[in-house]
Chain A
Amino acid sequence: MEFLNPGSLWLLLLGIIPVVLYLVRRRSKKVRVSTLVFFKTLAREHQESAWLRRLKRWLSLAMTLLLLALAVFVLSRLIVRQDDADRYRTVVVLLDRSASMEVKDENGESRLEAAKRILRDRLTKVPEEVGIALVAYDQRSEVLQPRTTKRRELLSRLDSIAVRPIAGRPDAAIETARMIAGLEPPAAIWHLSDRLLGDAGEGLPLHELNLALPGVVNAGITAVSLRGVPLEHARYDVFVRIALNRDAPAPLRTKLQVSVGGIPSQMRELDLEPGAETTLTFRINGSRDQILRLALAGEGDAFPPDDEVTLPLPEIRPILAAWIRPDESEDPYTRFALSSLQESGTFELLKGGPQAWPLSEKVDAVIFDGWLPAEWPAGTPAIVLNPPDYAGPVVAKRFAAPVPHDSVRVGMEDHPVLFRVSSSRVALTQTGIYEARGSLEPLWFAGNDPVLSAGEVGGERIVVMGFSPGLSERLPLTASFPILMGNALFWAVNQEERGGSNRLYRSGELAPVTGGTITWTESGGGVRRATLPITSDVVEMDRRGIWETDTGLRGASHLLSREETDLPARGEGEEGDPAYFATSNRFAGNLKLWLLAAVAMVLLLESWLFHRHAVY
């Protein structure tokens, strides 16, 4: 308990006045009367005995002094400290509003509501002179209230915070909080989330409250990818990744129901281990703009937002590729593989020699077969076959004599380039060695050298094949080679550009849009539609569901976050600092209201004791 304005305490000296008045008060006047009978009929309090009168006089003096003291305490701004942390000049409240804060406890209270409730109580205990800033964060942090001492405004901002179906990024938010805290030190950061930060950095005091539930089970869809099936019409390959949170107490059996256009298509049952992630691949039939719906169900699932994904099926535009060879003699196997892709209607091919480079027409991908341009083509995915001596993003050295290999060793079996490609019966001829200056990952090894690699170089995907199909023994004649070529092209080409407008976004991403309005069809808790104006070239994907602009642009937005699906459970010792946020001391904070209430009570008591029969 201390006084913020102790300079006003000298006013307590005014208490001398009532004491002196009491000590030198005029003695009661003695009056001789003919009879007392009329005075005896007056109010009963006048019939009091002398000791009661004395007691009342003492009481009156005590109440007068108490009133004076209470009034001076109000002026001196008497406060009770919740703890030493309240001595900061600034408190930055960092509140997690990411999707996982929507998890409800057994009383139906979400984590965010619980955080707001606790904060609301705790903020009333903070002295008025401490400035408080409010930052809410999901993927981005938003300063909802810069440092202020106006509690009403702050609480209003706090009440307006709602959960957004977006994954949280506390690292970016803590950076924002540090910046605000640095404006008016000393400062502290309060962090309320279902995940603890541990340290705010820069020596800033951090008080955290972990709002995660003690035991929580959640299985969710963490990734979805869709692509047209090579060589086939109106068929799509769907990749779905499903995960169970690490803190789930036991394995969980889940069911994934797939429906297209409202008609159930497939049902898969999955047994998930805590913390495990499983990828499912299946093929669906559907036409453009039909709605694909993936619904996951598991017993005790506490977090519905990641259990459903809906998206309109995209239109698959044919891939336009250029095949550049140094001479006219085409490798028949490569031509056969590319021709088979062309027949499926999903691939169009331009052929040419090095003299045609650079190309006058924009293509989706380039196939460099035994030749590479002097300057690497920026912004274009590439398939490099049988590379010559080269020093660029790919450093290659061609062998003087090709080296045949009876088999290959698989580097990354699950890579999409190897999807449905058999690696077991491959015999090929290595024509050189290469080294990529990027993130190329070897998929096949022949001997100790990689002969098939895929990755990104300069921001574009490339696939490098260090062998010649024409010289190889078994590979060109198997069905795997056309599939490999198709996979390489589909993987390398920018799917976003090919897929037209129907793109699946992670919530929180920015989607480029055109038009004046965007209409959301939100999923979860029934279907809700909302039409909003478009104010810029991009729209933040801050909802879950399918959207469409008035120009016909369509897309979908879903959580698809491994971090959010991996709901943490609050274990022992992971509560944060609950004692700090507890408001057991109801008198903590500024006592002005309590003191004023006490003044009113004393006045009422005095009025009742001494003046209730008075006539004014």
Chain B
Amino acid sequence: MSDTPSASSREELFDAEFLDRLRALFLRLRKRKQLRRKGLQNTPATGFTREFKDFRHYTPKDDFRAIDWRLYARLDRLFIRLYEEIQEFHVHIVVDTSASMVEPFPEKRLTSLKLAVALAYMGLVGHHRVSLHGIGASLAPPPPPMKGQGSLQRVLDFARDLEYGGLTDLERCFQDFQPGKRRYGIIFVISDLYGRDIDEAREAIRHASAWPGEIHFIQVFHPWEEKPDVEGEIELYDVETQEYRRLWFTPGDRERYEKRFGQFLDDIEKTCQARQIDYQRWCTDHPFDELFLDLLSRGSALAGNS
């Protein structure tokens, strides 16, 4: 464990090789949504772009203007032409900047920032608008949305300059986070979801139902937090509340702690499932690449380059 947070270098946050591999991938929405903005991103739905996609038998509900008369002349059957639909949407990335994300395990901060940069990079490559938000005791004012690959440096600067510390007020932050319907898109929340009490995260997630977009919660934690490697008489110090607590930690206590922590994670997951929110546990000692791809594929936010 490191005792003090340190600003991450560009190299730590920007893994060029990994990000290059992401260029072949795109973010996508699970459900088709009629968006005002047309972008480069194609969707599973058909649209009215000039990019041909496929043929399909005509049905009376289809637009007759899409009938391919040439095929009718040749085959004497009605077919309609399908075209790609290309959309542009918002990618909101909410990063927890409370003290618990950097102390005593700075790996959580690094992981969360790397994740945020990777997601932002995918959004920028897909010509979506990317918004970065920091939450702690309150919701920090976000910078203007970024678009285009040229904005990557701004993303990196934003990530590097994020100030960590203070308490976490999940409920207040999630309540205050209101992107507006014009900024519909995919929302990634990267946090350890530790609140002032054990039920705060579940309560806060209820507010996320009102957010405009498809929501992904990524809970970042350190393996020590899941299985604390400590025994005997200990004096605990809460880095957020700066509260001390003495106790005699027995193997039995450790067993109960692990059970309670696992129950906490399960409760968050069930709460997310109940609200059709995608949920991903992110232990910092797991390979980043695997978890990242799993995040996108499980949440169907990932699309290959067609």
In Å, the complex CA distance between A39 and B258 comes to 10
B100 at the interface (CB under 8 A from A): yes
B171 at the interface (CB under 8 A from A): no
A46 at the interface (CB under 8 A from B): yes
Q: Are B100 and A34 in contact (CB under 8 A)?
A: yes
Interface size class of B (residues with CB under 8 A): 35 or more
Find B247's partner among A30, A34, A42 (CB 8 Å cutoff).
Answer: A42
Query: Chain B, 227-261, contact with A by CB distance < 8 Å: what is the 0/1 string?
Result: 01010111111111101011111111101110011
Query: Chain A, 16-46, contact with B by CB distance < 8 Å: what is the 0/1 string?
Result: 0000000000101111111111111111001
Find B238's partner among A36, A50, A613, A615 (CB 8 Å cutoff).
Answer: A36
A356 at the interface (CB under 8 A from B): no
Knowing A29-B234, A614-B250, A615-B252, say if A34 contacts B260 (CB, 8 Å). Answer: no
B105 at the interface (CB under 8 A from A): yes
B166 at the interface (CB under 8 A from A): no
Q: Are A32 and B237 in contact (CB under 8 A)?
A: yes
A53 at the interface (CB under 8 A from B): yes
Q: Are B235 and A34 in contact (CB under 8 A)?
A: no
The distance from the CB of A259 to the nearest CB of chain B, in whole angstroms, is: 86
Q: Are A33 and B256 in contact (CB under 8 A)?
A: no
**Chain A residues whose CB sits within 8 angstroms of the CB of B104 once the complex forms:** 32-34
Find A31's partner among B222, B236, B260 (CB 8 Å cutoff).
Answer: B236
Knowing A615-B250, A615-B255, say if A39 contacts B235 (CB, 8 Å). Answer: no
Knowing A29-B230, A50-B246, A613-B252, say if A38 contacts B236 (CB, 8 Å). Answer: no
Knowing A34-B100, A34-B194, say if A39 contacts B245 (CB, 8 Å). Answer: yes
**Chain A residues whose CB sits within 8 angstroms of the CB of B238 once the complex forms:** 33-36
B225 at the interface (CB under 8 A from A): yes
The distance from the CB of B111 to the nearest CB of chain A, in whole angstroms, is: 14
Find B261's partner among A30, A38, A614 (CB 8 Å cutoff).
Answer: A38
In Å, the complex CA distance between A35 and B197 comes to 9
The distance from the CB of A316 to the nearest CB of chain B, in whole angstroms, is: 98
The distance from the CB of A19 to the nearest CB of chain B, in whole angstroms, is: 18
**Chain A residues whose CB sits within 8 angstroms of the CB of B248 once the complex forms:** 46
Q: Which residue of B lies closest to A36 (CB)?
A: B238
In Å, the complex CA distance between A32 and B3 comes to 9
Q: Are A29 and B235 in contact (CB under 8 A)?
A: yes
Q: Which residue of B lies closest to A40 (CB)?
A: B245
In Å, the complex CA distance between A436 and B232 comes to 107
Q: Are A28 and B234 in contact (CB under 8 A)?
A: yes
In Å, the complex CA distance between A39 and B108 comes to 20
Among A33, A53, A615, find the residue whose CB has the most chain B CB atoms closer than 10 A: A33
The distance from the CB of A276 to the nearest CB of chain B, in whole angstroms, is: 86
The distance from the CB of B81 to the nearest CB of chain A, in whole angstroms, is: 56
Find A32's partner among B1, B196, B232 (CB 8 Å cutoff).
Answer: B1
Knowing A39-B247, A41-B260, say if A29 contacts B198 (CB, 8 Å). Answer: no
Q: Are B247 and A46 in contact (CB under 8 A)?
A: yes
Q: Are A39 and B257 in contact (CB under 8 A)?
A: yes
Q: Are A39 and B225 in contact (CB under 8 A)?
A: no
In Å, the complex CA distance between A50 and B243 comes to 14
The distance from the CB of A36 to the nearest CB of chain B, in whole angstroms, is: 4
**Chain A residues whose CB sits within 8 angstroms of the CB of B169 once the complex forms:** none
**Chain A residues whose CB sits within 8 angstroms of the CB of B198 once the complex forms:** 37-38, 41
**Chain B residues whose CB sits within 8 angstroms of the CB of A616 once the complex forms:** 252
The distance from the CB of B11 to the nearest CB of chain A, in whole angstroms, is: 26
**Chain A residues whose CB sits within 8 angstroms of the CB of B236 once the complex forms:** 31-33, 36, 39
B85 at the interface (CB under 8 A from A): no
Find B257's partner among A31, A42, A614 (CB 8 Å cutoff).
Answer: A42
The distance from the CB of A428 to the nearest CB of chain B, in whole angstroms, is: 117
Knowing A28-B235, A39-B236, A42-B253, say if A34 contacts B246 (CB, 8 Å). Answer: no
In Å, the complex CA distance between A551 and B228 comes to 97
Q: Are B235 and A33 in contact (CB under 8 A)?
A: no
B292 at the interface (CB under 8 A from A): no
B264 at the interface (CB under 8 A from A): yes
Q: Which residue of A lies closest to B253 (CB)?
A: A42
Q: Are A37 and B237 in contact (CB under 8 A)?
A: no
**Chain A residues whose CB sits within 8 angstroms of the CB of B88 once the complex forms:** none
Q: Which residue of A lies closest to B194 (CB)?
A: A35
**Chain B residues whose CB sits within 8 angstroms of the CB of A37 once the complex forms:** 194-198
Q: Are B241 and A34 in contact (CB under 8 A)?
A: no
B103 at the interface (CB under 8 A from A): yes
In Å, the complex CA distance between A32 and B239 comes to 6
**Chain B residues whose CB sits within 8 angstroms of the CB of A30 once the complex forms:** 234-235, 237
Interface members, chain B 62-90 (any A CB < 8 Å): none
Find B253's partner among A29, A32, A43, A47 (CB 8 Å cutoff).
Answer: A43
In Å, the complex CA distance between A48 and B108 comes to 31
**Chain B residues whose CB sits within 8 angstroms of the CB of A26 once the complex forms:** 232-233
In Å, the complex CA distance between A37 and B240 comes to 11
Query: Chain A, 38-79, contact with B by CB distance < 8 Å: what is the 0/1 string?
Result: 111111001110100100000000000000000000000000
Interface members, chain B 150-200 (any A CB < 8 Å): 192, 194-198
Q: Are B237 and A33 in contact (CB under 8 A)?
A: yes
Knowing A36-B238, A36-B241, say if A31 contacts B3 (CB, 8 Å). Answer: no
Find A33's partner among B3, B232, B239 (CB 8 Å cutoff).
Answer: B239
Q: Are A28 and B246 in contact (CB under 8 A)?
A: yes
**Chain B residues whose CB sits within 8 angstroms of the CB of A42 once the complex forms:** 247, 253, 256-257, 260
In Å, the complex CA distance between A545 and B264 comes to 92
**Chain B residues whose CB sits within 8 angstroms of the CB of A31 once the complex forms:** 230, 234-237
In Å, the complex CA distance between A53 and B251 comes to 19
Interface members, chain B 186-228 (any A CB < 8 Å): 192, 194-198, 222, 225, 228
The distance from the CB of A342 to the nearest CB of chain B, in whole angstroms, is: 112
In Å, the complex CA distance between A614 and B250 comes to 7
In Å, the complex CA distance between A31 and B103 comes to 11
In Å, the complex CA distance between A38 and B247 comes to 13
Q: Which residue of A lies closest to B245 (CB)?
A: A36
Q: Which residue of B lies closest to A35 (CB)?
A: B194
**Chain A residues whose CB sits within 8 angstroms of the CB of B234 once the complex forms:** 28-31
Find A36's partner among B101, B243, B252, B255 (CB 8 Å cutoff).
Answer: B243
**Chain B residues whose CB sits within 8 angstroms of the CB of A29 once the complex forms:** 230, 232-235
Among A29, A37, A43, A614, find the residue whose CB has the most chain B CB atoms closer than 10 A: A37
**Chain A residues whose CB sits within 8 angstroms of the CB of B241 once the complex forms:** 36
Interface members, chain A 573-590 (any B CB < 8 Å): none
The distance from the CB of B28 to the nearest CB of chain A, in whole angstroms, is: 34
**Chain A residues whose CB sits within 8 angstroms of the CB of B196 once the complex forms:** 37
In Å, the complex CA distance between A585 and B101 comes to 69
**Chain A residues whose CB sits within 8 angstroms of the CB of B247 once the complex forms:** 39, 42, 46-47
Among A31, A47, A53, A616, find the residue whose CB has the most chain B CB atoms closer than 10 A: A31
Interface members, chain A 412-454 (any B CB < 8 Å): none
In Å, the complex CA distance between A615 and B256 comes to 10
Find B246's partner among A32, A33, A40, A53 (CB 8 Å cutoff).
Answer: A53
**Chain A residues whose CB sits within 8 angstroms of the CB of B105 once the complex forms:** 34
The distance from the CB of B208 to the nearest CB of chain A, in whole angstroms, is: 21
The distance from the CB of B25 to the nearest CB of chain A, in whole angstroms, is: 32
Q: Are B264 and A35 in contact (CB under 8 A)?
A: no
The distance from the CB of B107 to the nearest CB of chain A, in whole angstroms, is: 12
Q: Which residue of A lies closest to B197 (CB)?
A: A37
Between A and B, 9 residue pairs with Cβ closer than 8 Å are A28-B232, A28-B233, A34-B240, A35-B100, A38-B198, A39-B245, A42-B257, A46-B249, A616-B252
Further 6 A-B residue pairs, CB within 8 A, beyond A34-B103, A34-B104: A29-B232, A30-B235, A32-B237, A33-B239, A34-B225, A615-B253
4 closest Cβ pairs, A-B complex: A615-B252, A46-B247, A34-B100, A32-B104
Show the binding face of A for B, using Cβ within 8 Å.
26, 28-43, 46-48, 50, 53, 613-616
